[in-house]
A and B are shown apart, each in its own frame.
Chain A
Amino acid sequence: MSLLEVKDLKVRVEDNEILHGLTLTVNPGEVHAIMGPNGSGKSTLSHVIAGKPGYEVTDGEILFRGEDLLEMEPDERAAKGVFLAFQYPVEIPGVTTWNFLHTALNAQRKARGQSQLTSPEFLKKVREVAKSLNIPQDMLKRGVNVGFSGGEKKRNEILQMALFEPAVCILDEMDSGLDIDALRIAADGVNALRSPDRAMVVITHYQRLLNYIIPDFVHVMSRGRVVKSGGKELALELEASGYAQFEDAA
């Protein structure tokens, strides 16, 4: 059984259909890149997978390990192992990163019928994870993403990914707002989390990110559909020729 199956998905926002029948199959251990110009529906796909309100699915389905993902609340999806790394992680003043991570991890564990981690247990775990990703401890004491640089916000997303150990990670425009050094650090973090059990869907506008996170498959999206799929070489081809050819095709 595939890990994530998107079948002929049609999605509207108010009166506009954004996805016009999108199909994507992701198996454990695979890294898929989804590329496309602005407005092609890449972020909509990531939002619908995570369960963001405001989108209406009019046709098609999304299965996660064979279960209907669209029937689940966003928190149920998270507990099942779906993780969305946000393009723009929000700032939450007054909630420390530490408290947020502890609450979220315990909420997911509770939903999975696992025991709750006490503060010392959690501290030990989060320290190990932060250390392995070279994330400074003092980030944990600050308000969630409050005053974080673009790079720090993305590292915080990766820290969460490492902590929650999801089965499928959707990385939405992870490279936006990052300089080349920050991008490399973030990509190293993602690569460290690649494993045979875990799949990743990397959404990006630019080929640049894929120099650091090497995908197994590349899909080109245009106007709400996947118009071409291929191996990693497709990304290079795009870099050379641009998206225009696919706009015509769509």
Chain B
Amino acid sequence: MNLVLAKNETGRALSDSFAIARDRLPGAGKVAEARSAAFEAYERAGLPHRRIEDWKYTDLRALMREVLPLAPAPDAAALKRAAAAVKLQAIKGARRLVLVDGVFAPKLSELDGLEKGLTVRTLQDVLEAGDAALQAQLLTPDNANPMVALNSAMMTDGVVIEIADGLVLKQPLQVIHVANAATPAAMFTRSLLRLGRDAGLTLVEGYIAADGAEVYQAHDSLIIAIGDNSRLDHVRLVEDSREAINISSSVVTLGAHAHFNTFGMTSGAAVSRYQATIAFAGEHSRVETNGVNLLNGRQHADTTLFMDHAVPHCASREVFRAVADNRAHSVFQGRIVVRPDAQKTDAKMMTRALLLSDDAEADNKPELEIFADDVTCGHGATTGALEESLLFYLRARGLSEKEAQALLIQAFVGEAIESIVNDDLRELAIAATRRWLEARS
């Protein structure tokens, strides 16, 4: 009984919010129809809870309780605070695109001198005036996942990036989401990246909070299409405020002979979920996905990956490391499906969790569904504490307990960080690790 009530209350509050926000949400016609359908789908399901298998470890009814009202568009003061916050993740030489409270901020972004073949538009523009094909692609995520449906209903802004055939960009493209909400609010963003054939890009995504932003919700989704013979390097850093909620989804498809190398690190947010679906649509493609959770306090971070091997001769590697201190809770769900035609698939998944306290928790759920007979698939998982013998060795050499732990934690997450190809980006992840370690001691 209680549960029904909770759902209704949440639903009603959100209905009001949706009705109020509607005028601000971009897109008419088909887009508006899709929004309504998505909203209805979300309302039917409500916030996902632990009795839904996919959300078993991340019960949003308990952890999130409600969807906050849509954040107002940022004013001048907000943009100024956001500009200061961006420095935390700034990398030299990258082209920066900034979203503040879910709205694209042209003044904080670099749109001058775009290379020939690189197009950057806002989600607003595309939904209001863009071509039907792009709109359709932006509306591809289906409503089966309630949080994706909610994002489809409420998406306010984002960036739509297209890389033409043959263009290999040396300069990384960095999308930074800055939350600035002075009062508790939610932002809904959706972005799209289309890489043509023979193209290449390094994409960096970051989630940070401006000074004073504490309680907020970042709801994001990203659609990526990687063309034949193209390569995307992707780094994602979640450093949201420690009272924030970050729910992000991505849908990635790869053409033939394509390569996707992705690294994600979550050290911020009170509650976060990153759900990614990666689908092979062309043969001889490769995906490396690496992730690190660095958690303390009562943080809860969930990474849920779905690797869809639909065609033959593709390879995927998943390396995941979780470090949980205090009462933190790390969740990794890795599902690999090898469909009947996907012979010669080579899929491996390895997760390791390091628990720094008795109350910390790490849940690991591998799911392998293999319908082809000539494949190599494997997974492994370990959970443990820091080894006493290593700690003592370091302490006997002069390192304090915290220093010894820090060195071993850096080494533990190092294997995943090593997967980042670009030196500057690897440094960014190492710096984020260091910030986490410093905040710990």
Contact = CB atoms under 8 A, between A and B. Distances in A.
Nearest to A101: B397
A201 B412 CA distance: 35
A94 B415 contact: yes
Contact of B393 (A77, A90, A107): A90
A53 B388 CA distance: 9
Interface in A111-125: 111
Interface string B376-396: 000000000001111011111
Which secondary structure dominates where chain A touches chain B? helix
Interface in B200-239: none
A98 interface: no
A89 B415 CA distance: 22
Give the one of B390, B399, B404 with max A CB within 10 A: B399
Given A104-B398, A107-B403, A94 B412 contact: yes
Contacts of B392: 52-53, 74
B399 A94 contact: no
A48 interface: no
A51 B398 CA distance: 12
A78 interface: yes
Interface in B351-398: 387-390, 392-398
Contacts of B412: 94
A160 B394 CA distance: 12
A89 B398 CA distance: 15
A92 B411 contact: yes
Contacts, number: 74
Interface string A87-107: 001101111000110011101
B388 A79 contact: no
A36 B412 CA distance: 39
Nearest to B397: A104
Given A92-B390, A94-B414, A95-B408, A107 B400 contact: yes
B399 A89 contact: no
B169 interface: no
A164 B388 contact: no
Interface size class of A (residues with CB under 8 A): 20 to 34
Q: Which of A52, A53, A73, A75 lies at the interface centre, i.e. has the most chain B CB atoms within 10 A of its CB?
A: A75
A111 B387 CA distance: 24
A86 B389 CA distance: 11
A84 interface: yes
Main secondary structure of the interface of B (DSSP, over half): helix
A31 interface: no
Contact of A73 (B389, B393, B400, B408): B400
A100 B404 CA distance: 10
B410 interface: yes
A86 B393 contact: yes
B399 A75 contact: yes
A73 to B, nearest CB: 7
Contacts of B396: 50-52, 74-75, 77-78, 84, 86
16 contacts: A50-B396, A73-B401, A75-B395, A75-B396, A75-B404, A78-B395, A78-B397, A86-B396, A90-B387, A90-B390, A94-B412, A94-B414, A95-B407, A100-B397, A108-B398, A160-B397
Given A78-B396, A78-B397, 19 more contacts: A51-B395, A73-B400, A75-B396, A75-B399, A75-B404, A78-B398, A89-B393, A90-B387, A90-B390, A92-B408, A93-B411, A94-B410, A94-B414, A94-B415, A95-B408, A103-B399, A104-B399, A107-B397, A107-B398
Interface of B: 387-390, 392-401, 403-404, 407-408, 410-412, 414-415
Interface of A: 50-53, 73-75, 77-79, 84, 86, 89-90, 92-95, 99-100, 103-105, 107-108, 111, 160, 164
